[in-house]
């Protein structure tokens, strides 16, 4: 059974195996397909049109399925690997072990944002940025430059306290838990973390940075915490909403799974805190 652990608690061997599986996936060409899919949804999801992966209620189940696909791909190389999560309310400094050379490597140099250490630095030759929106082929970051502070635990608590999953107009203007977690309104959790990391993480091709998966694994965990906090409150909307994925409608690009199928994470994985 897959157990998703806090990245701060991983052993040296677990870090080494995770990194090796990610690099294998990259070498196979399958990694970049995930980046392409994500950017297609980033560009296609709009507030007044069809919206599936972002700025809509299905932001959370869509990314849950997307991460499951990625995790299964890693496990095809090493069955012991699980996605770790990054609790950015706790590990909130560029000096966190997350950014050490034995794991994801650190921030980018000031000249051009280029990451120069760790297994994903361009100089290793193992991490070409191929699916991109500009001419630069090297991984970039600017930790803490785009916005100074990561969200705090009390900011997360204020969003977990929201008793409505989502609400009309089911987009970036909505009130409720989903949009406050996504960050288009209010204290801004998920979006702000993308901005804090900077580099490719601030763009539509954000999965070019492996921290994408650790960030979203924590966003996913916050959804599970919210469900436990509000056991009587379900996914919304439940039916008949144009351009929006209702509870029992299938989601692109898979077309074989609905939000209802993904509400319970425990058939697929558990968390170290479960």
Q: Which is nearer to other proteins, 2 or 243 (CB)?
A: 243
Cis peptide before 235 (omega within 30 of 0): no
Q: What is the DSSP string of 31-69?
A: HHHHHHHHHHHHHH--TTS-BSSSSSTTHHHHHHHHHHH
Report the site for other proteins in 46-105 (rule: CB under 8 A).
46-49, 55
Contact region with other proteins (CB under 8 A), list: 179-187, 230-238, 250-258, 265-273? 179-187
What DSSP state is assigned to residue 150?
P
Between 79 and 173, whose beta carbon lies closer to other proteins?
A: 173
d(CA 250, CA 6): 31
32 binds other proteins (CB under 8 A): yes
Closer to other proteins by CB, 90 or 133: give it.
133
CA-to-CA distance for 11 and 18, rounded, in angstroms? Answer: 11
Closer residue to other proteins in complex, CB, 64/190:
190
Cβ atoms of 156 and 189 closer than 8 Å: yes
Do 167 and 175 contact (CB within 8 A), yes or no? yes
Contact segment (CB under 8 A) with other proteins among 58-66, 71-79, 140-148, 234-242 equals 140-148
Residues binding other proteins (CB under 8 A):
32, 36, 39-40, 42-44, 46-49, 55, 112-113, 130-136, 145-148, 169, 171-173, 183-184, 186-188, 190-192, 194-195, 202-206
């Amino acid at each position: 059974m897959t157990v998703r652990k806090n990245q701060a608690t991983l052993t040296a061997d677990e870090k080494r195996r995770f990194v090796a599986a990610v690099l294998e996936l990259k070498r196979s060409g399958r990694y970049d397909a995930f980046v392409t899919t994500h950017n297609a949804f980033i560009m296609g999801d709009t507030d007044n049109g069809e919206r599936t992966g972002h700025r809509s209620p299905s932001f959370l189940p869509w990314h849950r399925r997307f991460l499951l696909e990625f995790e299964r791909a890693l496990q095809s190389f090493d069955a012991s690997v699980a996605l770790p999560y990054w609790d950015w309310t706790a590990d909130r400094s560029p000096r966190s072990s997350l950014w050490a050379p034995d794991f994801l490597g650190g921030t980018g140099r000031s000249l051009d944002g280029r990451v120069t250490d760790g297994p994903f630095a361009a100089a290793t030759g193992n991490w070409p940025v191929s699916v991109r929106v500009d001419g630069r082929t090297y991984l970039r970051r600017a930790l803490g430059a785009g916005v100074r502070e990561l969200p705090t635990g009390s900011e997360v608590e204020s969003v977990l306290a929201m008793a409505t999953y989502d609400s009309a107009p089911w987009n970036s203007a909505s009130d409720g838990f989903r949009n406050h977690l996504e960050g288009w309104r209010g204290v801004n959790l998920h979006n702000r973390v993308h901005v804090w990391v900077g580099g490719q993480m601030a763009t539509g091709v954000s999965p070019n940075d492996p921290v994408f998966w650790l960030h979203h694994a924590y966003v996913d965990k916050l959804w599970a915490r919210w469900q436990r906090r509000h056991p009587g409150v379900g996914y919304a909307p439940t039916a008949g909403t144009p351009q929006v994925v209702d509870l029992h409608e299938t989601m692109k690009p898979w077309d074989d799974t609905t939000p209802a199928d993904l509400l319970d994470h425990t058939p697929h994985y558990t968390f170290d805190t479960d």
